[in-house]
Amino acid sequence: MPASIECLPASIRLTLAMRLDNTIEITFMNTIFRLDEVTVLDVVGDDAQTILHNLTTNDVKALQQGCGCETFITEVRGRTIGHVEAYRTADGFRLIGAPGQAETIANQTEKYTITEDVQPQDRSGDFTAFVIHPQASSSLRDETDWTQCNAIAFDTQWLGTSTLVVLTETPGAVEQVCVSCGEPVADQQAFHMARVQAGFPWYGIDFSEKNLPQEVNRIEQTISFTKGCYLGQETVARLDALGQVQKQLVRWQTEGSMPAPGSEVSSANKVVGRLTSLCPTAENQAIAIGIARRSHFDPGSAASGEGFEAVVR
C-alpha cells in the first residue's frame, strides 16, 4: 500500500480498483461527513430579496420557499467575495458555504442597504453541518425526519447532484441517526477528498476574493445572464461577451511524488498552473483541483511539477 494511503485517518473507508489503462484509483466509501465550521448567514427582512438580488450572480428572486441555488457574491469590480448556496426561507434567505465568509457578506449587505428592511444574521457558530453523499443509503437520505433531531436538510452540489447538507444545533443526535443507518461519520479531511473527487471548489482554498466568477469554472451553476443588474455585473457580462478568461480552475491528474497544496506546475519553462486541493490515489497518483493558465484549459494539457507530472482531466 502506498505511503500516501497508509497515512490517511482511520475514519476514511476506501476501495482500490484497476482501471482499463492499468492505473489504480481509490474510491472513497464514506458517505457522511461532519463539518464543525461552515458559513451560515441569514438575510432576513421585507427587502431581503431586493438586496440579495443586487449582490449575487444567480437569480435568487426566482427561488420558491425551500429551494436554493449556488451563487457568487460579487463586489463592484466583479470579484468573488463569497460563494454560497442561497435558500429561500419564510422570512428571507439562508446562505450556506465554506467557513469564514459571513462577516464579509454581512458587511456587503449592510453597505448597500440604505432604508430597506434587511438584517444579516450570522448563525455560523450555532450549527454543525453533516454532508450526506448522494450515494448514502436511501433509508437515511429519503426516510429520515431531520426535524426529530432539531435539524434541517438542504440540497447542494458539494459532492454531486442531490448532496444533502444537514444543519443542526444538536450534532450528537444527527450522528446517532447516521450510525444507526449503518453510515459511519467521517471528518473534514475526508470531506475535502470527496469534494475533490466530485470536482467541487471550496472558497478560501481553491479561489478567493482575487478571482472573477468565470475563473471558478462553474458558470452554468452560478451565473444568470438574464436576471438583470447586480453589483459587478458589468465585468461578468464583459467577460461573457469576450468569451475568455486568462486563468480558471480545472481538474488535474498527477503522477509521481505526492504534490503539496500550492504546488506549481510548468510547461516549456513557464508556470502554467497551481494545485490547490488534492486527493491521493494509489501508486503515486492524485487528482487535484487547481488553477490553469489559458494554454492549459483543455483536457490532456500536460505540465510538470517538482517530482511529478500533471495532466488536465
pLDDT of residue 182: 87
* Number of compact structural domains in the chain: 2
Q: Is position 54 within any domain?
A: yes
Q: What is the side-by-side strand order in the sheet with 39-44? A: 68-74, 80-89, 92-97, 39-44, 119-122
Q: Is position 22 within any domain?
A: no
pLDDT of residue 38: 99
For 284, the domain range is 3-9+246-312
Domain boundary (224, 245, 266) is at 245
Q: Is position 172 within any domain?
A: yes
Q: Do 208 and 269 lie in a common domain?
A: no
Q: Do 121 and 234 lie in a common domain?
A: yes
Q: Is position 18 within any domain?
A: no
Q: Do 81 and 126 lie in a common domain?
A: yes
Q: Do 256 and 159 lie in a common domain?
A: no
pTM for the whole structure = 0.92
- Torsions phi, psi for 231 (to 5 deg): -65, 125
Q: Do 159 and 258 lie in a common domain?
A: no
Q: CATH no. for residue 279?
A: 2.40.30.110
Domain boundary (223, 245, 267) is at 245
Q: Is position 25 within any domain?
A: no
Q: Do 75 and 207 lie in a common domain?
A: yes
Q: What is the dihedral angle through the alpha carbons of 155, 156, 158, 163, rounded to the nearest 10 degrees?
A: 20
Q: Do 44 and 150 lie in a common domain?
A: yes
Q: Is position 260 within any domain?
A: yes
Q: pLDDT in tens for each of the 313 residues of the chain?
A: 444 555 555 556 555 555 556 655 566 667 899 999 999 999 999 999 999 999 999 999 999 999 999 999 999 999 999 999 999 999 999 999 999 999 999 999 999 999 999 999 999 999 999 999 998 988 898 899 999 999 999 999 999 999 999 999 999 999 999 999 888 899 999 999 999 999 999 999 999 999 999 999 999 999 999 999 999 999 999 999 988 899 999 999 999 999 999 999 999 999 999 999 999 876 688 999 999 999 999 999 999 999 999 999 9
CB of 112 closer than 8 Å to CB of 55: yes
- DSSP designation for 211: S
Q: Do 226 and 81 lie in a common domain?
A: yes
CB of 301 closer than 8 Å to CB of 239: no
Q: Do 199 and 265 lie in a common domain?
A: no
Q: Do 213 and 286 lie in a common domain?
A: no
- DSSP designation for 160: B
Domain boundary (212, 245, 278) is at 245
Q: Look at residues 289, 89, 310 and name the one whose alpha carbon lies nearest to residue 202.
A: 289
Q: Do 142 and 105 lie in a common domain?
A: yes
Please count the residues of the chain. Answer: 313
Q: Do 122 and 221 lie in a common domain?
A: yes
Q: CATH no. for residue 148?
A: 3.30.1360.120
**DSSP conformation letters of 8-22:** S-TT--EEEEE-TTS
- Helical spans, DSSP H, in the chain: 3-6, 48-53, 102-111, 138-143, 171-180, 188-198, 219-222, 233-242
